[in-house]
């Protein structure tokens, strides 16, 4: 049995990380402390200074653990890793760590390539980014290919290697064919340097040179050549017009500030690369009432840079805690000195003010959209209650679907909508255990039985401990169940509910011959609902979401199986190396696309293993 008072007494007088847990043993908060004894005790002392979020968190703490570290820096690194691993409810959580795209130039090759990547490695290549607008990055790459005739292939080309027949790109003027010996290494490098200059913001020199060439071609009556040069100038201007110079320096800098109202905050970050804004990003952080601004910015910095590959040289903020400690941590991640600065006046302060203004506008727009969406959702739910003649508005709706391909690996999914909005944290996935083959009815019976059995078991445990129902995963039952299917699926659900002596209305969502949502079945009757009504839009959204969620789960299971079997076939790649490859690259496609240099940079992958991987995928295309 966990003795809170005793655990508080024996807390060590050392740095470390603490993990707060709820009644189900789930980690709901991770924090770091310079002195564990002082920091953890503060949560359990009555204080008017506690924010609303801290009060809510403390009310759900049933136990805690701690990990002692040798230094506060070790505690910070461990805290970031644990937050990323467990994604606790009461920590500031940003988007999934998908990674922003970069433009990579393989300057470590004799004839470099230019392409988009999300993996940044210390491989001697040059990276530009990160960019937040993915579409703009790919558009930029396409424009670069039109302007500069560089290769797009993945061949390993040496200047004195055996010449091969050039591909179509050479004949249409998109490549100088270094593979065929049509250009020297030095001449090719000049083209690559122009690309680097362009992405570095040094476009004026390139534009001036192209304009001279265009004018000379026009004077010599070479109008076709002049037109090609004119188009290149237009393309370069199109690339550079996306970026606004706001600073005279050419460093990599990020500007971060927040705007807070009486309840929530918006963190805004501007990315400056080579003196130009290349993108911006915002994050809505809810329930920050009572939190100090410096605390929010500090947590944001840890969360954001704990999950991004690129660290700028300078970081500008309006205020922050643990400035020196965070500088040290970012310096370790970057591999060179990082500065956190708080500008008081001048150009940097003006930029930071601009960031905060944008954060204010974004938060206000977010709140306005929330109000508009809330009104639309409430209207849809009222209409749905009227159509089904329900006594109360169905605030919580659960929808179910089954997915299989030719009867293989049936899986079930449950999505939840509360007050008309999807609640991703309550989504559940079920791998079918007791049903063989493509039997959707029995598969649905299994997942519904498991869902409500879990719920009843959880209610019993919570009642025995006199806890709040909100601490459970399955114990909150829906006001309405929607089945992705017709009468058969509805009847299965009603049978399961009857076995548990639970009364919940059940509807079926049916589609037309074009797989579009047609309407709902209730009490064995298909109800006529106007296609453009709010309630039909809600039902369509729910049906699309539960189907998407089921398909994504099925696909992930298939991908894992394929990944496992393919990697096992590669010589010199054992279980440890397979894990390292999956850990670094994430998917089989990324491993396939990885260069020899990227593979060799992976932990436990030596030259022999890297060559085996490259050769294997060359022969198994």
Q: What one-character-per-residue DSSP string does 46-108 give? A: --TT--HHHHHHHHT--EEEEEE-SSHHHHHHHHHHHHHHH--TTS---S------EEEE-TT
Q: Are 478 and 433 in contact (CB under 8 A)?
A: no
Q: Which SS3 state, helix, strand or coil, does residue 317 take?
A: strand
Q: What is the pLDDT of residues 83-116, one digit of tens each?
A: 888 889 888 877 544 566 788 889 888 999 988 8
Kindly give the interhelix angle for 293-305 and 72-86, rounded to the nearest 10 degrees: 70
Please, what is the Cα angle at 221 between 218 and 227, to 5 degrees? 50
> The tokens 């009757």 sit on which residue?
525
* Secondary structure of 236-248 as H, E, C letters: HHHHHCCCEECCC
The arithmetic mean of pLDDT across residues 564-577, rounded, is: 75
Question: 């398909």: which residue's tokens?
Answer: 551
Average pLDDT over residues 215-226: 82
4: left (phi over 0), alpha (psi -120 to 50) or beta: alpha
Cross-strand bridge partners of residue 482: 399, 507
- Three-state DSSP class for residue 437: coil
What token pair was written down for 454? Answer: 């879990």
Which of the four pLDDT bands, split at 50, 70 and 90, describes residue 460? Answer: confident
Does 130 sit behind a cis peptide bond, omega within 30 degrees of 0 on the bond before it?
Answer: yes
How far apart, in whole angstroms, are the C-alpha atoms of residue 23 and residue 43? 17
469-472 own/partner pairs: CB under 8 Å, 24+ apart: 471/22, 471/23, 471/24, 471/60, 472/24
Check the CA dihedral 67-73-76-79 and report its sign.
negative
How far apart are the C-alpha atoms of 137 and 129, rounded to whole Å?
Answer: 9
HEC secondary structure over 461-475: HHHHHCCCHHHCCCC
The per-type count for the chain, helices as H runs and strands as E runs, is: 19, 20
Residue 298 has pLDDT above 70, yes or no: yes
Q: Could you give the domains of the chain? A: 4-86 (3.40.1440.10), 102-200 (no CATH), 253-364 (3.30.420), 396-557 (3.30.420.340), 569-619 (1.10.150.20)
The stretch 380-392 carries a mean pLDDT of 92
Residue, of 102 and 400, whose pLDDT is higher: 400
Angle at 397 between CA 393 and CA 403, to 5 degrees: 155
The whole-number average pLDDT for the span 19-36 is: 89
pLDDT for 462:
76
* Ramachandran quadrant class, 274 (left: phi over 0; alpha: psi -120 to 50; beta: rest): left
User: Can you give the pLDDT at residue 127?
Assistant: 82
What letter would DSSP give residue 605? Answer: -
Q: According to the model, what pLDDT value does residue 170 have? A: 86
pLDDT grade for 539, boundaries at 50, 70 and 90 = very high
Q: Looking at residue 412, what is its pLDDT?
A: 87
**What is the pTM for the complete model shown?**
0.59
Segment 594-601 shows an average pLDDT of 86
Q: What is the mean pLDDT of residues 496-504?
A: 94
Report d(CA 303, CA 534) in Å as an integer.
Answer: 37
Q: What would the two tokens of residue 15 be?
A: 């740095």
CB 426 within 8 A of CB 399: no
Which tokens belong to 515?
């797989």
Long-range CB pairs of 103-110, under 8 A, 24+ apart, other chains included: 103/127, 103/128, 103/129, 103/131, 103/137, 103/140, 103/141, 103/199, 104/128, 105/192, 105/195, 105/196, 106/595, 106/597, 107/192, 108/597, 109/156, 109/157, 110/157, 110/158, 110/159, 110/178, 110/185
Query: Percentage of the chain surpassing pLDDT 90?
Result: 30
How many angstroms separate the CA atoms of 544 and 30, rounded?
A: 35
Mean pLDDT is lowest, of 41-45, 277-281, 294-298, 580-584, for 277-281
What are the phi and psi torsion angles at 37 (to 5°)? -60, -45
| Interacting residues of 208 by C-beta distance below 8 A, sequence separation 6+ | none
CA distance 367 to 287: 13
Tokens of 410: 């049936």
More confident residue, 110 or 586: 110
Mean pLDDT for the chain? 83
Report yes or no: 397 and 377 within 8 Å, Cβ to Cβ.
no
Residue 243 has what pLDDT?
47
Give the β-pairing of 480-483 and 396-405. parallel
Distance CA 593, CA 431 (A): 31
CA distance 333 to 311: 7
Condensed to tens digits (0 to 9), the pLDDT of residues 411-441 reads 889 999 999 999 988 899 888 888 876 788 8
Average pLDDT over residues 604-620: 84
Query: What is the structure's pLDDT at 481?
Result: 96
Q: Residue 98: what pLDDT?
A: 52
Tokens of 141: 């790459």
Bridge partners, 300 (sequence order)? none
Measured between alpha carbons, how far is residue 31 from residues 52, 96, 179, 288 in Å? 17, 20, 55, 17
Q: Is 175 helix (H, G, I), strand (E, B) or coil?
A: coil
Question: How far is the C-alpha of 260 from the C-alpha of 332, rounded, in Å?
Answer: 31
List pLDDT tens digits, range 321-347.
Answer: 999 999 999 998 888 999 999 999 888
Q: What is the pLDDT of residues 136-186, one digit of tens each?
A: 677 778 777 877 888 888 888 888 888 888 888 888 888 889 998 899 999
**Rounded CA gap, 603 and 584, in Å?**
9
Of 168, 164, 162, which Cα lies nearest the Cα of 180? 164
């Amino acid at each position: 049995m966990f003795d809170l008072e005793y655990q508080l007494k024996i807390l060590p007088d050392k740095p470390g990380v603490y993990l707060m847990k709820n009644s189900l043993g789930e980690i709901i908060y991770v924090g770091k402390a310079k002195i564990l004894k002082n920091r953890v005790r503060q949560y359990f002392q009555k204080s008017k200074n506690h924010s609303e979020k801290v009060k809510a968190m403390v009310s759900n703490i049933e136990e805690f653990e701690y990990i002692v570290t040798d230094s506060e820096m070790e505690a910070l690194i461990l805290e970031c890793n644990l937050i990323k691993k467990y994604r606790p409810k009461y920590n500031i959580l940003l988007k999934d760590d998908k990674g922003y795209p970069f433009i990579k130039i393989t300057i470590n090759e004799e004839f470099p390539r230019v392409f988009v990547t999300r993996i940044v490695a210390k491989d001697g290549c040059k990276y530009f980014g990160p960019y937040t607008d993915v579409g703009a990055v790919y558009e930029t790459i396409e424009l670069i290919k039109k302007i500069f005739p560089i290769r797009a292939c993945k061949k390993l080309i040496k200047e004195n290697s055996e010449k091969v027949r050039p591909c179509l790109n050479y004949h249409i003027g998109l490549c100088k064919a270094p593979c065929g010996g049509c250009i020297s290494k030095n001449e090719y490098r000049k083209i690559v340097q122009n690309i680097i200059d362009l992405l570095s913001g040094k476009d004026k020199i390139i534009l001036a040179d192209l304009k001279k060439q265009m004018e000379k071609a026009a004077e010599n009556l070479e109008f076709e050549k002049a037109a090609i040069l004119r188009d290149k100038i237009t393309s370069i201007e199109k690339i550079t017009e996306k970026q606004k110079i706001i600073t005279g320096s050419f460093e990599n800098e990020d500007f971060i500030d927040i705007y807070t109202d009486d309840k929530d905050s918006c963190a805004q970050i501007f990315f400056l690369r080579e003196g130009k804004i290349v993108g911006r990003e915002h994050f809505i952080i809810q329930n920050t009432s009572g939190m100090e601004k410096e605390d929010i910015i500090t947590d944001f910095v840890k969360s954001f840079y704990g999950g991004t590959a690129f660290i700028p040289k300078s970081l500008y903020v309006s205020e922050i805690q643990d400035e020196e400690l965070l500088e040290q941590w970012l310096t370790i991640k970057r591999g060179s000195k990082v500065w956190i600065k708080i500008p008081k006046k001048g150009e940097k302060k003006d930029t930071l003010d601009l960031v905060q203004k944008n954060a204010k506008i974004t938060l206000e727009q977010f709140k306005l959209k929330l109000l508009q969406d809330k009104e639309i959702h409430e209207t849809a739910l009222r209409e749905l209650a009227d159509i089904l003649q329900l006594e109360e508005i169905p605030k919580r709706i659960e929808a179910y679907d089954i997915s299989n391909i030719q009867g293989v690996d049936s899986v079930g999914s449950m999505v939840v909508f509360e007050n008309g909005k999807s609640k991703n944290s309550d989504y559940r996935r079920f791998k079918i255990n007791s049903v063989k083959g493509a039997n959707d009815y029995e598969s649905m019976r299994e997942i519904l039985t498991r869902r409500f059995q879990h719920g009843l078991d959880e209610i019993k445990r919570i009642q025995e401990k006199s806890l709040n129902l909100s601490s459970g995963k399955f114990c909150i039952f829906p006001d309405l169940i929607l089945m992705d299917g017709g009468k058969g699926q509805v009847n299965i659900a009603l049978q399961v509910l009857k076995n548990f002596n639970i009364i919940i209305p059940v509807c079926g969502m049916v589609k037309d011959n074009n797989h579009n949502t047609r309407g709902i079945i209730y009490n064995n009757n298909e109800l006529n609902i106007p296609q453009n009504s709010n309630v039909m839009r809600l039902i369509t959204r729910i049906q699309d979401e539960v189907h998407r969620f089921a398909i994504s789960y099925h696909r992930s299971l298939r991908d894992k199986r394929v990944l496992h079997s393919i990697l096992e076939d590669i010589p010199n790649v054992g279980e440890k190396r397979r894990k390292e490859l999956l850990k670094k690259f994430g998917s089989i496609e990324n491993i396939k696309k990885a260069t020899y240099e990227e593979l060799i940079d992976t932990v436990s992958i030596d030259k022999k293993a890297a060559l085996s991987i490259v050769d294997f995928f060359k022969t198994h295309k």
